A and B are shown apart, each in its own frame.
Chain A
Amino acid sequence: MKECFIYDHQRTPRGIGKPQGKLHAFRPVYLLASILQRLVTRNGFDSASIDDVIIGCVEPHSEQGGNIARAAVLLSGMSETVPGMQINRFCASGLDSNSIAAAKIISGQAEAVIAGGVECMSRVKMGSSSGALFVDPSIVYDHQIIPQGISADLIATREGYSRTDLDAWAVLSQSRARNAWENGYFSDQVAPVSWPTGRVALAHDEHMRSGVTLESLAELKPSFAMMGALAGYDSVIKEKYPDVDQINHVHHPGNSSGIVDGAAVNLLGTKAFGERYGLTPLARIKGFHSTGIDPTIMLTAPSVVSRMLIEKQGLSIRDIDSWEINEAFSSVVLKAINDLSIDESLVNPDGGSIAMGHPLGATGSILLGTLARRLKRNDLNKAVVTLCVAGGMGSAMLIDNGVG
């Protein structure tokens, strides 16, 4: 068994996922190719030494379809000998691309792999690839497959989270993200997106907002109340959760992850690979796991899968020094913190998807990279990254400082 190290993490800033967003004019393949190029240039390795490029993408059709990984390899100017593969585990795609890459390396089948993700949500709309899971009556009718926002509201209802509880986390996410930017924690990992002429289009996360307070969030209207009532989603939930009389619709754009455009890549390799190119690892990948839960409540897997992973490693929750739990919705993070009985100061201290946005297929890679850098920066021992996943799934990865 080989060891797998994370040598670098690079990402684009996250642009607002609307037609007026600063990354909207850029094709997904361009964002991905530029960030690949940057990774190669920065680290000075021969691109032909990369055994594979594995890219997560949640809406892999149209301009994000047809294996965008291979397309981006060619556009980036990397060696044509580098193959590409696109994978999809919805919101954890960008983490699972790293898991698959690590599996190749640990098993000795590859020496260096680039794993990442891309999603231009302003151009390829969330949900636009449809799919049997969401529309085939033989599945949807019997399994109560509902929109994620309503699942998030269901979690809040069952756990008794008030709108203020959820908004408080959103305010925290914004202030932590601002703090991280101000302290320069992201300066080494965010590469500005530029036109081919060199003109910079975006250098910072565009979705972040300053001055977000509990009062300003209180003005936002709930996003899923009407949908839940009119399309019967609230009603079918009761077949599985009969003790719920009314769904408390408490999520809104301010306490849910932002819709953004972005791409991210991580350089993974063996010890020998790093030595050959004089690279210092950020962290070591110790293990990874994915699991499934009830698809209706859908978003409660982060604690389940993290526990499974940690136990598989013979560790306990207390051994984990830092966490990245994707802020798909406020209730998801609060529920995971509660289930794992961990201190909230350990979770997402550099902000999360509520503040900076959630470019679906790329987020897993961003969270992993952010965590690896934090591990290094703060000289921590062990850390876990986890994401909830549509359809009732969850993925998690454990990294450490490479000692022992």
Chain B
Amino acid sequence: MKHVNSYQMEGYTVIELNHNDHDYNVIDQAVAEEFCALMDATLDDTNCSGVILTSANNTFCSGADIQLLSQINRYQSEVSDIIEKIHQTTMKMESSSIPIVAALTGTAVGGGLELALACQYRIAIDEPTSRYGLPEIKLGIFPGFGGSQRLPRLIGVQKSLELMLKGSTVPSVKAKALGIIDELTTRDQLLSQAVNYLNTSPTGKSRWLQSDFQMKDMPHSYSGMMTWSAAITLARSQTKGHYPAVKALLSAVYEGIGLGMEQALLVEHQYFMMVVNSPIPENLIRIYLSQKALVKCKPVVKTFKKISIIGSGLMGSGIASVACLAGFKVHVVDTSMEKAKQSEGYLKRLLDAGLKRKRYTESIVSDCLSRLSVSDQIDTIRGSDLVIEAVFESREVKEKIYRQIEPLIDSEAIIASNTSSIPISELAKGVTNPKRFVGLHFFSPVEKMALVEVIKGKQTTDSVIASARYFSQKISKVPITVNDGCGFYTTRVFARYPQEALICLKEGIHPAVIEQAGRVAGMPMGPLEISDAVGIDVMSHIMSIAKDYDIYHDMDISSSVIDHMVSQSRLGKKSKKGFYDYQSNGHSLWSGSYEWVQTDRQISLVDLGQRLMYGQLIEMIKCWDESILRSDVDADIGAVLGWGFAPYVGGPAALIKTIGWEGFLKDSAYLADTYGERFRLPADINKPDFL
């Protein structure tokens, strides 16, 4: 066979996954057919006394082929056939009197782990890098090769739901503690341990088919009621009902765990096909694949021997730390040693956290710290091939620094600004060679936010853009590339979300309702909460820059609210006072946030949600029309990774695709007629070519 081999070993049959087209294993139609045929034939062989299921690679199997999944909607019947085959064979595996042991050569996730769950015993290699789990939910689907039924039977409902609903994967030691893995061994010993297990003449048959098996956490008891009620509600509170796979998974487990396996798998199969029949899995898979494609490094574009960061505030320190962690030599300069040393403190905190979670060893930590140097003298940046300016958002301050930098560095070195809103081409006027000047817009906190917005100034060369993207990829950030403009893409479009909320607030709409409308529309935080997180002073600054460039309508309304907040010293989360009051045990809306409420000015939650979302969609279309955006993938990834724009709709461009251009124009016109001209699209707007 092409992708699945078998051979004899010490009297047992070894079935080995070995995908012919990859150096890792995925399950596609061909693999599924070969696996099922070979496994069925092996189990039908009366001479067979034991089976070892393993892989020829350093990982076991990463599950269903993502390319197939990315078009799952179109290939529903093919997917359904594969599921049915796998269900038949895995049922045969778990009920066979021939013992089957899974010898996991490394990571087993999704469909890979599901095959292993149909074996009676699982041995894995004791190494921290391999992962185990059923992360399907992250792609908008749920375990469909029997995992939703077998994992609860193996480790209990509560633990399995936690894993499957979060889609988290765990290292081998944790997998063993959870009961997913029965035994850990070394890579060398893996197959011999599998043989040893078979030599003990185990009974075959999975434990849930044995007569003394008792299912834990059944829903129909007092404790089961408490567990299930809380699990369902928690899932609902986290998804706001936007992810059909979450509800389907809960139902599949709830309905399946009391049934025999054949009927349980039928329940799983039916729910799975219902989930597949929605656009959400494809939206999420597209985001996942685009992200992977964007972060994939081209062959070495440019080496960076020394990277200098000017400014050691939150952003400068964050960028410095992330670059150090990625192996770069980083030098941080600020106006005093005391300030410059803040970056060391930042890096140490990250490393300490990593040490605690055993992500880093002591030697990684000391190596990493040795790559960071700090100074209060600007001339110490000599020899840098990349200088990232991350100082206060002021043209004057920035330009003064550029004048100091330029004479100190090589003519080929790149100068980047981490500005979040000032046009790069404007800043480039402060340098003698604008061709090597580029925007590298990071997001806070840098170590958590996966996105970097690379901004091409009018004169920035393509090779500088390529280098900037390469640097981003090397520090494991996903770069999107946009053309220049005030607020570029991300700041400009994102800012419409809180801005619209401020206009709603001023109109007299209830602040808690505005917040809820944002969350229900799919945003990760309410717009006022997000304003607090950004900082009211930062918002004020962004607005004043936006005013200079006149990019938004109705700025005076939203800035009047912000000005009021600033005058009340409510600067946001960092000062524990903003639209919310922040206490150690949580936060609640500040009484002053209710100041504008007029009970007769309330509008429907639907209209409110549309205002908050369409503000962003319309701004995105304007960015497209003004050629600030270069691809719809950048638009979607930038929004989803940059400010958490509803991932299940696939991002703003994908959402407009789903709504349809005509519908989008109609909705925008309604909003403009009803709520203000800022929703009016230019009359000569072109239909974007991604539609």
- Chain A interface residues toward B at CB < 8 A: 125, 127-131, 134-138, 140-142, 144-147, 227, 229-233, 235-236, 238-239, 242-246
Contacts and interface: CB of A to CB of B under 8 A. Distances in A.
Given A231-B230, A239-B520, A130 B237 contact: no
A135 to B, nearest CB: 4
Contact of A135 (B229, B247, B586): B229
Contact of A141 (B225, B236, B511): B236
A135 B236 contact: no
A138 B244 CA distance: 11
Interface of B: 219-222, 224-226, 228-230, 232-238, 240-241, 246-247, 250-251, 254, 510-513, 515-517, 519-520, 586, 588-589, 605
Given A142-B241, A147-B229, A130 B588 contact: no
A141 B241 contact: yes
A312 B247 CA distance: 41
Contacts of A141: 232, 235-236, 241, 246-247, 250
B607 to A, nearest CB: 13
Given A135-B254, A141-B241, A231 B233 contact: yes
A242 B513 contact: yes
A264 to B, nearest CB: 25
Interface of A is mostly: loop
Contact of A138 (B225, B236, B251, B516): B251
Nearest to B218: A130
B234 A232 contact: yes
Contact of B234 (A129, A131, A231): A231
Given A127-B222, A135-B224, A242 B605 contact: yes
Nearest to B594: A245
Contacts of B238: 232
A140 B229 contact: yes
28 contacts: A130-B219, A130-B220, A134-B225, A135-B224, A135-B225, A135-B228, A135-B232, A136-B251, A136-B254, A137-B228, A137-B250, A140-B228, A141-B250, A144-B233, A145-B233, A231-B229, A231-B233, A232-B234, A232-B236, A233-B237, A235-B237, A236-B233, A238-B519, A239-B240, A239-B520, A242-B510, A245-B512, A246-B589
Given A145-B233, A231-B229, 16 more contacts: A125-B222, A127-B226, A128-B222, A135-B220, A135-B228, A136-B254, A137-B232, A141-B235, A141-B241, A141-B246, A141-B250, A238-B512, A238-B516, A239-B520, A242-B512, A245-B515
Contacts of B589: 245-246
A137 B253 CA distance: 9
A136 B588 CA distance: 32
A142 B241 CA distance: 7
Contacts of A130: 219-222, 224-225, 228
Contacts of B520: 239, 242
Contacts of A233: 233, 237
Given A127-B225, A135-B254, A137-B250, A146 B512 contact: no
A134 B226 CA distance: 9
The residue among B233, B234, B237, B586 with the most chain A CB atoms within 10 A of its own CB is B233
Contacts of B516: 238-239, 242
Contact of B254 (A129, A137, A229, A246): A137
Complex A-B, nearest 4 residue pairs according to Cβ-Cβ distance, in ascending order: A232-B237, A242-B516, A137-B250, A235-B237
Nearest to A142: B241
Nearest to A234: B237
Contacts of B232: 135, 137, 140-141
A236 B229 CA distance: 12
Nearest to B249: A137
B514 to A, nearest CB: 9
Nearest to A146: B233
A144 B513 contact: no
A235 B233 CA distance: 9
A243 B511 CA distance: 8
Given A130-B219, A135-B254, A145 B229 contact: yes
Contacts of B254: 135-137
A246 B588 contact: yes
Contacts of A137: 228, 232, 247, 250-251, 254
A110 B234 CA distance: 49
Contacts of A230: 230
Contacts of B605: 242
B234 A243 contact: no
B510 A243 contact: yes
Contacts of B220: 129-131, 135
B512 A243 contact: yes
Nearest to A59: B222
Contacts of A145: 229, 233
A224 to B, nearest CB: 13
